[in-house]
Structure formats: structure tokens, C-alpha cells
Amino acid sequence: MVDGVRHSEISLPAINALVEVSVFGGDSYKSRVEDAGDGVLAIAAPLNLRVTEVPDVGDQITVRWPAGERGRYAAAGHLIEVVGGALPRWVMRPDGPPKLEQSRSYVRGGGNELVQVRRLSPSGDTVEGRVIDISEGGVRARFDEIELAGGDEVEVRVELGEDILSVEGRVLRVWQEEDGEQTLLVLVFEPHERDARVIRRYVLRHQLMLRNGRLND
């Protein structure tokens, strides 16, 4: 129960409701509910989705919609069907009842920092790559070569200026760049508050330097 509301009492959004959808734990895109019922939710495929974030059947997506001053509701689940046509739709089945998220968003930033990833079980070699962007909820990165799959538990180390972030997480998504030269990963984690502060401080500093044109100084 959050703020007096039980998760089981939260209903899925109604048809034509405006929602946001995130894929692979990445950016959020605006969408609209096309159909709902029988435990599934159909939404309009976002128009401005990047090619690298187009999901496949079986991938996890999250749909969010407003919950007033308390924050927003979120329903996480798996894509079970992609319906083509003039107005393509994604059909997802929530993994459980929607949850209430407090009004807090993760700010993404950074880029090109050194990142090291090692599979925890079974133990694997450490592979180095470069950050695309990072937030308190995870990191997107590219590697020349890496043997990981979605669901693998990993140790992640990232150089954030003078700080070294070391957290355990899991692989959410793996795919190849269009030219096939590099592998892209989405890694998700839940850092302790100390590490979360390190990420926030670094991202905000990076954004400030970017606005001031000082990144190359």
C-alpha cells in the first residue's frame, strides 16, 4: 500500500488515455491506449521511437500514466504482439497490478566514460566499453565485443570523474548497432543512496559543462 492505495485497487488506463511508454529501461515516449481488457493493454506504437529501441515480442516495456499529485502509475510487462497497419499497436501483458511511483525522475547524462562489466554467475571476464549515458537507474553502453544476454547478473564499474561507481545489476537488453561493428547494452541497477548521489552529482555537473561548452577544456 502507498499513500492509502493498494496496488491491487489500481486499474489499467482507459481507452484513449494518454500514456508514456519506455522500452528497455530507456527514454519515455508519448502514446495512447487503443484497447484494454482480458489482462492485456494495447497502445499506439510511438511515432518518434529510435530504431535501436524498437522492441521485439517478449521484451519488457513499461506504461505510465498520471496519478495526480501523488506521482504516476506504472504497469510493467512483456510485449506479446505487434500489430501492423496504418496505426501500429503494441500489445503488452502486465506482470502484475500497476504500482504507484512517487514523483521522481532519473536524469540521464554523461557519455564516453569507461565502463567495465563482468558476469557474476557463472563468473566471466571483465570487458571494457564506453558509456552512452547513465542515470540512477542504469547505464547504456557500447562494446566492441561482449558475450552477455538479457537477464545476466553483472558487476558494473564506471569511472565518473574522480569517483568510481561499482554496483551489481543485470542486463536488460542487448543488440547490435546497424553497422554491426559494436554491441549495445542496457544495464539496470538500484544503487545505494551514496552511489546514487555520486551519479546525480556527476550527471548534473556534466550537463552544466555541456551547456557552458567546457567539456573539451
Stretch 176-189: mean pLDDT, rounded?
86
Residue 173 has pLDDT above 50, yes or no: yes
Residue 126 has pLDDT above 80, yes or no: yes
User: Residue 5 has what pLDDT?
Assistant: 42
Average pLDDT, the chain: 84
Residue pair 88/44 in contact by the 8 Å Cβ criterion = yes
Task: In whole angstroms, give the CA distance from residue 155 to residue 168.
Answer: 4
Residue pair 64/20 in contact by the 8 Å Cβ criterion = yes
Stretch 147-169: mean pLDDT, rounded?
92
User: Residue 37 has what pLDDT?
Assistant: 86
Cβ partners under 8 Å of residue 180, min gap 6:
none
Half-sphere exposure of 124 (CA within 13 A, CB side): 19
User: Residue 35 has what pLDDT?
Assistant: 93
Residue pair 43/30 in contact by the 8 Å Cβ criterion = no
Residue 114 has pLDDT above 70, yes or no: yes
**Taking Cα atoms as reference points, which of 32, 58, 54 lies closest to residue 43?**
32
Task: In whole angstroms, give the CA distance from residue 81 to residue 141.
Answer: 28
| 72-83/99-101 β-pairing | antiparallel
User: Residue 124 has what pLDDT?
Assistant: 86
Task: In whole angstroms, give the CA distance from residue 133 to residue 26.
Answer: 10
Residue 144 has pLDDT above 90, yes or no: yes
Task: In whole angstroms, give the CA distance from residue 144 to residue 126.
Answer: 13
**Taking Cα atoms as reference points, which of 114, 213, 95 lies closest to residue 159?**
114
Backbone torsions φ then ψ of 48, nearest 5 degrees: -105, 25
Q: How confident is the model at residue 134 (pLDDT cuts 50, 70, 90)?
A: very high
User: Residue 15 has what pLDDT?
Assistant: 93
pLDDT tens per residue, range 14-71? 999 999 998 766 677 889 999 988 889 999 998 877 665 678 899 889 998 987 655 7
Using DSSP, state whether 8 is helix, strand or coil.
helix
Residue 215 has pLDDT above 80, yes or no: no
pLDDT tens per residue, range 57-112? 998 899 989 876 557 888 999 999 999 888 899 999 999 888 887 655 677 888 89
User: Residue 2 has what pLDDT?
Assistant: 37
**Taking Cα atoms as reference points, which of 155, 184, 153, 144 lies closest to residue 171?**
153
